[in-house]
Amino acid sequence: MIPVKQFFFDFGGVLVDLDFNGTIEAFCKFGATIPEAFNSENFHKILRDFENGQTEEKDFFDQLRIFLSIEISDEEIRQAWNKIIQTIPAYKLKILRTLKEDFPIYMVSNTNITHIEYTRKYLFRENGLTIDDYFDKLYFSYEIGASKPDAEFYKRVIDDTKVNPAESLFLDDKTENIDGARQAGFQVCQVCPEDNLREKLFPFLNGISI
């Protein structure tokens, strides 16, 4: 195995706990009666456009109102939409801080501006730190204009960081994103929400304690 020189972490599912049911329940409290709509192809297209930066937040909120047949304010939509984001276990924050002492580390996430604004405000805030203190750079799909597992996402990250992907570990919870990273030349590690991140990282650390 080629020694790993840098780490690329997905956000949701790898670092932060997610609760999609929390978002569905929040919208239902506002009067939405079709939570199954979130599993439809129409919704996934709306979300992909938002996460690829092709739709502004206000337009996405308008689409949600129509899609869910609800009349609520932008702030109420924002509150419900952010219910998906839960907490980051303290031990994962410690892992990030420890790794950053010896390695470049990056965040690589399919996400949207609403969730990232919430994350910047409420997560990674221990000891006066911010999310930018934990990573050398953040790569968000809505800023890149492409999302995993599209080859363009990985290409833009590699081109910008100028790393050798064969010397880089890409961690994600979704099989299709792991496959895309592998095809782009990365070493990969699939981390599911129920996994212990420290145990998953151990084989790649060459004896380094985290």
**Could you tell me the pTM of the whole model?**
0.95
Rounded to an integer, what distance in angstroms lies between the CA atom of residue 4 and that of residue 154? 17
**In this structure, are 55 and 122 located in the same domain?**
no
> What are 122-181's pLDDT values in tens digits?
999 988 999 999 999 999 999 999 999 999 999 999 999 999 999 999 999 999 999 999
Q: State which of 84, 102, 129 marks the end of a domain.
A: 84
Residue 55 contacts residue 61 (beta carbons within 8 Å) = no
**Together in a domain, 146 and 63:** no
Same-domain status, 75 and 162: no
Identify which has the larger pLDDT, 114 or 38: 114
Q: How confident is the model at residue 198 (pLDDT cuts 50, 70, 90)?
A: very high
Are 8 and 168 spatial neighbours (Cβ–Cβ below 8 Å)? Answer: yes
Give the mean model confidence (pLDDT) for residues 51-57.
97
Domain stop point among 36, 51, 84: 84
List of long-range contacts for 57-64, beta carbons under 8 Å, 24+ apart? 57/112, 57/113, 57/114, 60/112, 60/114
- Domain hosting residue 168, numbered range: 6-17+86-204
Task: State the distance between the two ends of the chain, measured CA to CA, in whole angstroms.
Answer: 20
Angle at 68 between CA 67 and CA 71, to 5 degrees: 110
Query: Which candidate, 129, 192, 178, 139, places its Cα nearest to that of 161?
Result: 139
Identity at 160, one-letter amino acid code: D
> What Cα–Cα distance (Å) separates residue 73 from each residue in 45, 80, 93, 141?
23, 11, 34, 26
Which amino acid would we find at residue 15? L
Residues 95 and 165 in one domain: yes
pLDDT of residue 160: 98
**What residues contact residue 176 under an 8 Å CB cut-off, 6+ apart?**
148, 149
CATH of the domain at 51: 1.10.150
Q: How far is CA 90 from the centre of its chain?
A: 17
- The tally of domains found in the chain comes to 2
Task: Please check whether residues 195 and 101 belong to one and the same domain.
Answer: yes
Mean pLDDT of the chain: 94
Residue 81 has pLDDT above 90, yes or no: yes
**The predicted structure's pLDDT at residue 39:** 74
Cβ atoms of residues 38 and 63 within 8 Å: no
Q: pLDDT by residue (tens digit) across 95-106?
A: 999 999 999 999
pLDDT band for 210, please (50, 70, 90 cuts): confident
**Element holding 168 (H helix, E strand):** strand 168-172
Output DSSP code: residue 66.
Answer: H
d(CA 157, CA 8): 10
For the cut 90, the answer to whether the pLDDT of residue 73 exceeds it is yes
Please compute, for residue 80, the number of CA atoms within 13 A of its CA located in the half-sphere on the CB side: 22
According to the model, what pLDDT value does residue 35 have?
58
